[in-house]
Amino acid sequence: MALLSYRSKPHCGGQGVYLRHLSRELADLGHTVEVLSGQPYPELDRDEITLTRIPSLDLYRDEDPFRTPALAEFRDWIDVLEFAHMRTGGFPEPLTFSLRVLRALRARRHDFDVVHDNQVLGLGNLGITRLGLPLVTSIHHPISVDRRIELEAARGLKQKLGKRRWYGFVAMQSQVARRIGPVLTVSGSSKTDIVKDFKVRPRDIEILPLGVDTRVFHPRGDRVPGRIVAMASADAPIKGVDVLLRAVAKVATERDVHVIVVSRPQKDGPTERLARELALGERVRFVSGISDEELGALMASAETAVVPSRYEGFSLPAVEHMASGTPLVASRAGALPEVVGDAGVLVPPGDAEELAATLRRLHDSAEERARVGAAGLARVQERFAWPAVAQATVEHYRAAIERRSPRR
């Protein structure tokens, strides 16, 4: 099986995390797995999993975003298209990765029984089935939701036009999603949004929740008093880190609390500027580039965990917090109520006052923290396990193969 992902950041961003865990569990079930990915490349957990690099120009690397490549770096017309698209304010990677990976698969069409697209949804993907390869697609949530929230947060005509151009690829993804065949998604909420925004037929979408790696995320004993932990892209309005910082600033005037955000904010970007405006000082810290063991220990060290998002199609961090036995406060947004159930405390998205009141209450009540943390741990153990997710995914692969070639 070939797993496709146009970017696979190992420790943040759901695509890389999903790819890593699913590929491991598929290999453990005895399947032959090959990952085809653009930069940043994933970390894979089994030596027998093949990583085939499908290199882009890597125009958005952390240390040099929106870079201008040297002339010698351009290899073909797809590279020229990618650079031109970026220079005009667009985000080209889903399209250009799909064209590159179609070229790679065309030369190796007999090497794979099935292809799994991890939310690439580029025009090149439409050519994969024409090669005779069964195709299954995962859409974690439609990026149209991100676009809507970013446009609402944009200030001024120039910023709004810039956001519209950047998210121009969403129209392509919507078109491809309607034509691509069977779609897997992670929640009923995401299914509703895919049907609404991408106009995919409901009968073409199956719900398959994500899992959590309990070897990494589990309770570990003592917690640091007053510690609040969140894992979210700091500068993305959809993730609500601004709401969290405003809430912590309110609580910190009366309680000894501090927050650690697992993310790398843009230097002097909106999140860093807000932290300075709120005079949070040492009460806020951002960490990134840490190992799985360090991340698991950090999440288990918190007295309280927060997922302050304005929208989530699923939220792996929510499940990882619950697996750590940490009492979770989450927004009543997107799929979060579906994922968290009654095993966490839900607050209105974007409401810093209500989030602050909830953080104060949990800070003051060890009994409530223990009760909510235990409920979250029990929910994870009952519902979210990667081996079961992988086995169910294989059944969707088998169905796709059967549809493509009943005698295969």
How is the chain split into domains, by residue range? Answer: 2-211+386-404, 227-383
Q: How far apart are CA 114 and CA 343, in angstroms?
A: 37
Please give the CATH superfamily to which domain 227-383 belongs: Glycogen Phosphorylase B; (3.40.50.2000)
The pLDDT of 282-309, averaged and rounded, is: 95
Query: Which residue carries 């078109």 as its tokens?
Result: 175
**Same fold? 2-211+386-404, 227-383:** yes
Residues 108-132: pLDDT tens digits? 999 999 999 999 999 999 999 999 9
- Above 90 in pLDDT, residue 284? yes
Confidence of residue 406 (pLDDT cuts 50, 70, 90): low
Q: Is 110 buried (19+), middle (13-18) or exposed (0-12) by CB count in 10 A?
A: exposed
Confidence of residue 26 (pLDDT cuts 50, 70, 90): very high
pLDDT of the residue at 282: 94
Residue 285 tokens read as 């810290």
- Above 80 in pLDDT, residue 255? yes
Confidence of residue 11 (pLDDT cuts 50, 70, 90): low
CA torsion sign for 67, 68, 72, 77 is positive
Please give the CATH superfamily to which domain 2-211+386-404 belongs: Glycogen Phosphorylase B; (3.40.50.2000)
Question: Across-strand partners of 34?
Answer: 2, 50
Residue 1 tokens read as 């099986």
The pLDDT of 220-244, averaged and rounded, is: 94
pLDDT of the residue at 408: 45
pLDDT of the residue at 63: 86
pLDDT of the residue at 368: 98
Confidence of residue 221 (pLDDT cuts 50, 70, 90): confident
- Enter the pTM of the model: 0.85
CA torsion sign for 88, 90, 91, 92 is negative
Confidence of residue 82 (pLDDT cuts 50, 70, 90): very high
Give yes or no for a cis peptide into 40 (omega within 30° of 0).
yes
- Above 60 in pLDDT, residue 159? yes
- Cβ atoms 163, 147 nearer than 8 A: yes
What number of H helices and E strands is found in the chain?
A: 16, 13
- Above 90 in pLDDT, residue 252? yes
SS3 (DSSP) at 264: coil
The pLDDT of 380-387, averaged and rounded, is: 90
